[in-house]
Structure 1
Amino acid sequence: MTGITMPKMMYGTAWKKERTTELVIQAIKSGFRGIDTACQPKRECREDLVGQALKTLFAEGVVSREDLFIQTKFTSIDGQDKNQPLPYDPKLTIPEQVEQSFQTSLKNLGVDYIDSVILHSPLKTKEQTLSAYQTLESFVDEGKIHNLGVSNIYDSNLLSWLIEKSRIKVGVVQNRWYEGNGWDWAVWEICQKNNIRYQSFWTLTGSPSLLQHPHLINMASKYGLTPEQTIYKLCQLWNITPLCGSKTLSHINEVLAVESAIGMKEDTLEVQQLWNAMHAD
């Protein structure tokens, strides 16, 4: 990857609606340096309000552009709400849709480049997916995008195919990482083999039984963490970048405190026991 290194924790901006600007400012002032958004009004992902937050933060001198890792997404027409203003003309070809969406993102965010742009999901066909990805590759050539990736890709064969076909390496995969999909280990393993940063969402909400697992409860007690903090720390040990979308300052501070938590290592007995249990489920 070029530019700023992806932080070990990203702030997710989905579902913040009209509070997006306020909450992004709160997150950055608290210490977050990674922002995940999307050019997709359907998910109430107000990319334009993220841009307003950035404008305020830059003007106040809280951070500079170079201090932040900003990530957004191209969302195909199947993922858009046609009752909302679309970020591109759906009658255009896929490459033209991607280009218009990216230009909309630059305008919304008020920046000259974006650290990471990912496909919000694979498109209807492999060929369409590759076409959209290849269009994003051209912006990497121009220095306007630093990293590429894809979200919601749970077919390990499709991911391997995209890795093989892409000219500019897949640098990011963002998936649900939760008990409902067995923590997505097959895709995670491909990411480890190919030096791809795996980002997780639904990290806490989707895994209530993991939060109550005896091994995890014991770990939390031993290292002076909450169960939620323990999961975030485990993600970091396992080369997973979690997305946190909390709206409350106290929870944001708890999440950021994970970075300074000491003692827990990948090869400790408790971590290995939980790792084995999660792979056995």
Structure 2
Amino acid sequence: MSKVPTVKFNNGQTFPVFGLGTWKSKPGEVVQAVKDAIDAGYRHIDCAHLYGNEKEVGDAIKTKVSEGVVKREDLYITSKLWCNSHRPDMVEPALRLTLSNLGLDYLDLYLIHWPTAFKAGPDLYPVHATGKYLFGDEDYVDTWKAMEEVCKKGLTKSIGVSNFNKRQIERVLEKATILPVTNQIECHPYLNQKKLIGFCRSKGIVVTAYSPLGSPDRPWAKPDDPKLTEDLKIVQIASKYKKSPAQVILKYQIQRGNITIPKSVNKSRIKENLDIWDFQLTPEDIAYLDTFDCNGRVCHFVEATGHPNHPFTDRDEY
């Protein structure tokens, strides 16, 4: 039985506030990580076509269902539409491919991964002979309309967005007949996203925090980049609660009302990350952690630099 609390989306669906992220989980590691997570009590697994490991996630789910540890309906599986499939007629085939890879009949949540379209086709990162990335001209609002159609067909219970800024969400809301239930964004004490979270909440949209620990294993990290879990101020808070720095950082997101999806393939850390329900940070500690914000974004999506829909070009859009 999972002890993870749930949040209610604007469509009435409930969803666990804590899950396992699978970005950067290497082939050969992710099967065991998902099995360990399900055994530990995780019921929410966050996936994406881009991550290249959905078949392994599916293998782990199949094993745990066949062992009787969980039923399919106990699990909440998220995946994401990649940028090379923004053309409206490509949305359903992309989702069906994800379902096939995962071995599932439906998703619980499907997101537009980024608002930036790449050239439609099989290449995840289509590149010109000059080395420049090839962009598509699809409008994410048209992509959203196709997302609504796959939701109506029951291929996914809920739909949402990821990495969208305020203006982009407003454009979707102007045309939407099915509202996004979540906006999945990078969020941690060095990038607390207070304004964007407040805006999303005002529209009934839950925020999902990815890279809540600052993604210390990101491939482009420099040796001298600050690490959240080694921040002495956070270490000090953690010692007060007799918890690890990671547990404090994750609890910070949960108490702010955000769904949180830390990635790990280490069994003990998978269990430790989930062990955050027996303490509460004080309002003073949450306010203190809020002051760590330094616009410390680690996921800049440089491949889409120059795209007219790149979400981070205007700080006024949060």
Asked if Structure 1 and Structure 2 have the same fold, meaning a TM-score greater than 0.5 normalized by the shorter chain, the answer is yes
From 38, 47, 54, the equivalent of 1:47 is: 54
- SS, match of residue 183 in structure 1: coil
Q: TM-score normalised to the size of structure 1?
A: 0.82
1:18 and 1:128 map into 2 onto residues whose CA distance is: 36
Whether 1:148 and 2:141 are equivalent positions in the alignment is no
From 55, 69, 72, the equivalent of 1:65 is: 72
C-alpha root-mean-square deviation of aligned residues, in Å?
2.5
Give percent identity, aligned residues only. Answer: 28
Match for 1:264: what amino acid?
A: L
Q: Deviations over 1:181-210 (max 9, x none)?
A: x33233212122122221122221358465
Q: What residue number does 2:125 align with?
A: none
Whether 1:219 and 2:237 are equivalent positions in the alignment is yes
Whether 1:21 and 2:31 are equivalent positions in the alignment is yes
Q: What residue number does 1:84 align with?
A: none
Contact 1:147 1:172 in 2 (8 A): no
| Equivalence map 1:58-137=2 (5 Å) | 58-77=65-84, 94-124=87-117, 128-137=139-148
Structure 1 unaligned runs (5+)?
78-89
Q: CA deviation at 1:179?
A: 5.9
Structure 1 residues 212 and 239, CA gap change in structure 2 (3 angstroms): same
**Which deviates more from structure 2 when the two are superposed, residues 155-164 or residues 198-207?**
198-207
1:213 and 1:13 map into 2 onto residues whose CA distance is: 24
Q: CA deviation at 1:264?
A: 2.6
Whether 1:197 and 2:206 are equivalent positions in the alignment is yes
RCO comparison, higher one (Cα < 8 Å, 6+): 2
- SS, match of residue 158 in structure 2: strand
Match for 1:133: what amino acid?
A: W
Higher helix share: 1
Structure 1 residues 47 and 61, CA gap change in structure 2 (3 angstroms): same
1:156 and 1:233 map into 2 onto residues whose CA distance is: 25
Q: TM-score normalised to the size of structure 2?
A: 0.73
Contact 1:178 1:203 in 2 (8 A): yes
From 250, 254, 270, the equivalent of 1:232 is: 250
Q: What residue number does 2:281 align with?
A: 264
Contact 1:114 1:145 in 2 (8 A): yes
1:99 and 1:108 map into 2 onto residues whose CA distance is: 14
Structure 2 unaligned runs (5+)?
1-8, 118-135, 217-225, 296-318
Q: CA deviation at 1:221?
A: 2.2
Contact 2:214 2:228 in 1 (8 A): no
